[in-house]
Amino acid sequence: MPDEKTESRLVLISGRVQGVGFRYWVLGQAQSRGFNGWVRNLPNGDVEALISGAPAVVADMLAAFWTGPTFSKVTQVTDEAGETPERDGFHILP
């Protein structure tokens, strides 16, 4: 079986996504999927994430963003092609 390519997506998640543990939820989801990348809060109340991994797993995570942790209420998820993360692993950025 040929090696699967890596896909990187820059994702913007809107709604009630700050103050509900969303970044830590993303961290756990990303680590369990073996992603490289990061997640951070934005000043406008959105959350931004860069996820990088196998295309099928990236697609699965894009769908999972709509669920989020228990007290979140996601109203929009947008994504675009992203750059390959500069370091290995998945991290929460300030």
Catalytic, 41? Answer yes
Query: Residue 90 is encoded by which pair of tokens?
Result: 């998945």
- What does the alpha-carbon distance between residue 26 and residue 65 come to, in Å, rounded to a whole number? 8
Candidates 16, 33, 40, 41; catalytic one: 41
On the 0-12 / 13-18 / 19+ scale of CB atoms within 10 A, 84 is: exposed
pLDDT at 35 (0 to 100): 97
Number of domains in the chain: 1
Domain presence at residue 15: no
Question: What is the pLDDT tens value at each position of the chain, 94 positions in all?
Answer: 345 699 999 999 999 999 999 999 999 999 999 999 999 999 999 999 999 999 999 999 999 999 999 999 999 999 999 999 999 999 999 9
Domain presence at residue 47: yes
Catalytic, 23? Answer yes
Number of continuous H segments (helices) and E segments (strands) in the chain: 2, 5
Q: Model-level pTM?
A: 0.93
CA proximity to 31, closest of 49, 45, 15, 17? 49
Query: 33: domain CATH number?
Result: 3.30.70.100
Candidates 9, 16, 23, 33; catalytic one: 23
Domain presence at residue 5: no
